[in-house]
Amino acid sequence: MIVSVTMNPAVDETLTVPQFRLGETNRIQATDIDPGGKGLNVSRVIRRLGRPTVAVILIGGETGEFIRNRLEREGVDMELVEIEGTTRVNISIIDESTDVQTSLNHEGPRIDIGDLHAVERKIEEWLPELEVMVLGGSLPPGAPPDAYARLIKWVRQTEIRSILDTSGQALTEGIEAKPYMIKPNLRETRQVLGRDLKTDKDIVAAGQELVGRGIQVVVISMGKEGAIAVAEEGAWKARPPIVEKQSALGAGDSMVAGLAIGLSEHAGVAESLALGTAAATATVTTPGTELCRPDDVQELLPTVKVEKIA
């Protein structure tokens, strides 16, 4: 069983405009509204790919109810922690003329220590079946920066393997807790290590440094250039096929879903990386905040090239 934890979910609204003009009236060409949040999206993709998953989510207000209803329709099992505040709304504007995406993200509602304890109790209910725990997304106001780190340390006492996909101080603190796997992108990796990463050799060296801190697998995503996975036994680069891009929203979450499935099924690093890359690429071909379709993932999987590079 794969359990995802999303402490700061959102309702994601994507607005597509022919040409975005700052300070002027812009006519919206298309609108997409979906549940959002890294961990939540991971569970949605895992469910689409036919594997068991439970999403632990903090929700509140009418927007929280929207998330609940949508996940019920998609058949995603949930463990919900009701909070006093209202789940945030994030807005992304896509300029079709330039393919530039602008995001406007709320901080999210404030939570307290009682909400965090409730999350722990929800996870504890699934411990007998839990194999992989995915911690994803930002932390809401009121959550300490080591909130993910605490959960990682907790499950490290068992055979449960954790995957961390966040940024900023939450990522820095989480790395110190030694999760089994992390999946930062290039920008996040640069921020953690404080240096530029220009070549594959630089990226492999960065991954090796993080593995040296006690992380078993480091996957660094690079957008259309694919991803590099580093473990003690070596490094692999996944190259996705060329596809017609519609939106990159949710691609990273889809990659984590594939990696989590690989971990839960005891696949090798290369095989897990291939599935994650196929899921991410399939999501890129969908509009707005829509996630990958299962048939597309299966069609793209044989076209993903994974080679050992170190």
Q: Which residues contact residue 198 at a Cβ distance below 8 angstroms, ignoring those fewer than 6 apart?
A: none
CA 154, distance to chain mean position in Å, is 21
The pTM for the full model equals 0.94
Q: Are the beta carbons of 167 and 35 closer than 8 angstroms?
A: no
pLDDT at site 248:
87
pLDDT at position 230 is 98
Q: How far apart are CA 151 and CA 13, in angstroms?
A: 30
Torsion region of 99: left, alpha or beta (phi above 0 gives left; psi -120 to 50 gives alpha): left
**Can you spell out the DSSP letters for 120-157?**
HHHHHHTTTT--EEEEESPPPTTS-TTHHHHHHHHHHT
Phi, psi of 138 (to 5 degrees): -75, 165
User: Among the options 12, 115, 146, 253, which is catalytic?
Assistant: 253
- Specify the CATH architecture of the domain 2-7+38-86+111-308: 3-Layer(aba) Sandwich (3.40)
Cβ–Cβ < 8 Å for 181, 218: yes
What's the 3-state SS for 2-56?
EEEEECCCEEEEEEEECCCCCCCCCCCCEEEEEEECHHHHHHHHHHHCCCCEEEE
DSSP-derived secondary structure for 175-188: HHT--SEE--BHHH
b vs e for 255-284, b when ≥16 Cβ sit within 10 Å of the residue's Cβ? bbbbbbbbbbeebebbbbbbbbbbbbbbbb
CA-to-CA distance for 24 and 39, rounded, in angstroms? 36
Look at residue 287 in the predicted model and tell me its pLDDT.
85
Question: Tens digit of pLDDT per residue, the chain (310 long)?
Answer: 999 999 999 999 999 999 999 899 999 998 889 999 999 999 999 999 999 999 999 999 999 999 999 999 999 999 999 999 999 999 999 898 998 889 999 999 999 999 999 999 999 999 999 999 999 999 999 999 999 999 999 998 888 999 999 999 999 999 999 999 999 999 999 999 999 999 999 999 999 999 999 999 999 999 999 999 999 999 999 999 999 988 888 999 999 999 999 999 999 999 999 999 999 999 999 987 889 999 999 999 999 999 999 8
Q: Given this model, what pLDDT does residue 210 score?
A: 98
Q: Is 77 a catalytic residue?
A: no
Distance, CA of 300 to CA of 236 (rounded, Å)? 18
> How many Å apart are CA 255 and CA 227, to the nearest integer?
10
Q: Single out the residue of 174, 179, 170, 173 nearest to residue 140, CA to CA.
A: 170
Residue ranges covered by each domain of the chain: 2-7+38-86+111-308
Helices first, then strands: H and E counts in the chain: 10, 14
Q: Tokens representing 233?
A: 């036994």
Helix (H, G, I), strand (E, B) or coil at 242: coil
